[in-house]
Amino acid sequence: MCSGRVDPAFVLRAFSKGADGVFIGACHLNECNYITNGNFQALSMVSIFRKIMEHVGLNPERLKIGFVSGSEAGLFIEHVSAFVEKIKDLGPIGKGEGLSETGLKLKLEAITALIPYIRLVERERLRISLKTEEEIERFFSSDEVNGLFEELFAGKLAIGQIMLLLREGPRSTGEISETLGLSPSEVSRRLNASSRLGLVRYDAGCKRFVAA
């Protein structure tokens, strides 16, 4: 299968089922067997997804793409062996980041809910025509893209996690902050935004926020 067919949903499914890391093998750049240059699409997808992982507090090193041809068995073994050692150093997903089991579950569910939106943003705002891995890395680490991520993803991811948690029951700002690993100030900001949208309300009786 062409690496360009690797969908973010596949990566999420692996992490949700307990995988501590995901390695994607792709053909060398500019050596695609298809006119689609799917390996460039795969690299862009991985770059986007790693930034999303970083946004929600998951180590982006848990996702890696390696470029190798079908005749380079030795290189493939090197890539995979190095990745396995890296994942061993990071520890189990969630625990290695200091997240509770509930916090990890909510983060992965919030990303999963955004997958159609992620695909749309990648196609409409982040699909680029660059020829080297270095150029793509520079693009995705640029201030322009960092600002775009903050604008397009950060709020949606935070609110998504908060809403999932509040559907389980009322929570205070401190409880939300502790469970999700978000700062109290960010939680307050997202709760205020959600309240204006009619998504949450403050229950004076239990002194907690609840899903509207």
Q: Where are the domains of the chain?
A: 3-154
Neighbours of 196 (CB within 10 A): 9
Over residues 116-136, the mean pLDDT reads: 83
Residue 172: phi and psi, rounded to 5, are -85, 170
| CA dihedral of residues 17, 21, 22, 27 (deg, nearest 10) | -170
Whether the pLDDT of residue 43 is over 80: the answer is yes
The pTM of this model reads: 0.84
- Region 8-12 average pLDDT: 92
Query: Model confidence over 75-103: pLDDT tens digits?
Result: 999 999 999 999 999 999 999 999 889 99
Other residues' Cβ atoms within 10 Å of the Cβ of residue 72:
13
Query: Tell me, what's the pLDDT at 151?
Result: 86
Q: What pLDDT score does 158 carry?
A: 92
In the numeric block, the tokens 């067997």 are attached to: 33
